[in-house]
Structure 1
Amino acid sequence: MNTIRARKDGWEAQARIGVVVPHADVGPEAEFQAIAPEEVSVHGSRVHFGAMRAGGEMDPKIPHDPVRAFVQPPHIDDAVELLAASPLDAIALGFTSSAYVLRASGEKSLLDRLARRARGIPLTSTTVAAVTGLTALGARKVAVVNPPWFDDQLSRLGADYFTEQGFTVVHHGPCGLPSDQKLITPQALSAWIRTTVAGHRPDAVLVAGNGIRAVGVIDALEQDLHLAVLTANQVLFWHALHLAGASRTARKITGYGQLFDTEPGSAAS
Structure 2
Amino acid sequence: MWQRDGWEVRSRIGVLTPHADVGPESEIRAMAPATVGVHAARVPFGAMATGGAMDPTIPLAPVAAFVEPPHIDDAVSLLAAAPVAVIGIGFTSSAYVTGAEAEERLVDRLQTRSSGTPVVATCAAAVSALRRLEAESIALIDPPWFDDELNRLGAEYFLSQGFEVPFRAACDLPSDQHGINPSQLYQWILTHVPDSCEAVFVGGNGFRSVGVIAALEEDLARPVLTANQVLLWGMLQATRSRITVEGYGRLFTLTE
Match of 1:61 among 43, 51, 57: 57
TM-score (norm 1): 0.93
Greater C-alpha Rg:
1
Separation (CA, whole Å) in 2 of partners of 1:14 and 1:130:
26
Structure 2 partner of 1:221: 216
Query: Which whole-Å deviations, capped at 9, do the CAs of 1:163-202 have from their partners, x for residues lacking one?
Result: 11011111112111111112211100000001111x2431
Match of 2:204 among 209, 232, 238: 209
Preserved contact between residue 171 and residue 200 of structure 1 (Cα < 8 Å): no
Separation (CA, whole Å) in 2 of partners of 1:223 and 1:188:
17
Which residue type is aligned with residue 212 of structure 1?
A: F
Q: Note the residue ranges of structure 1 that are not aligned, 5 or more in a row.
A: none
Separation (CA, whole Å) in 2 of partners of 1:244 and 1:9:
25
Preserved contact between residue 18 and residue 44 of structure 1 (Cα < 8 Å): yes
Preserved contact between residue 141 and residue 203 of structure 1 (Cα < 8 Å): yes
Q: CA deviation at 1:239?
A: 1.0
Q: Note the residue ranges of structure 2 that are not aligned, 5 or more in a row.
A: none
Which residue type is aligned with residue 109 of structure 2?
A: R
1:58 is paired with a residue whose SS is coil
Do structure 1's residue 230 and structure 2's residue 222 form an aligned pair? no
Q: How does 1:15-164 map to 2 (within 5 A)?
A: 15-164=11-160
Separation (CA, whole Å) in 1 of partners of 2:46 and 2:163:
31
Q: CA deviation at 1:244?
A: 2.3
Q: CA deviation at 1:223?
A: 0.7
Q: Number of paired residues?
A: 256
Do structure 1's residue 257 and structure 2's residue 249 form an aligned pair? yes
2:99 is paired with a residue whose SS is helix
Moved over 6 A (4+): none
Structure 1 partner of 2:191: 195
Separation (CA, whole Å) in 2 of partners of 1:222 and 1:174:
20
Structure 2 partner of 1:165: 161
Identity of aligned residues (%): 55
CA RMSD of aligned residues (A): 1.0
TM-score (norm 2): 0.97
Separation (CA, whole Å) in 2 of partners of 1:74 and 1:180:
29
Do structure 1's residue 242 and structure 2's residue 234 form an aligned pair? no
Query: Which whole-Å deviations, capped at 9, do the CAs of 1:136-176 have from their partners, x for residues lacking one?
Result: 11111101101111111111111011011011111112111
1:119 is paired with a residue whose SS is coil
Which residue type is aligned with residue 227 of structure 1?
A: R
2:74 is paired with a residue whose SS is helix
2:33 is paired with a residue whose SS is coil
2:16 is paired with a residue whose SS is strand
Q: CA deviation at 1:52?
A: 0.5
Q: CA deviation at 1:13?
A: 1.6
Which residue type is aligned with residue 215 of structure 1?
A: V
Separation (CA, whole Å) in 1 of partners of 2:20 and 2:44:
8
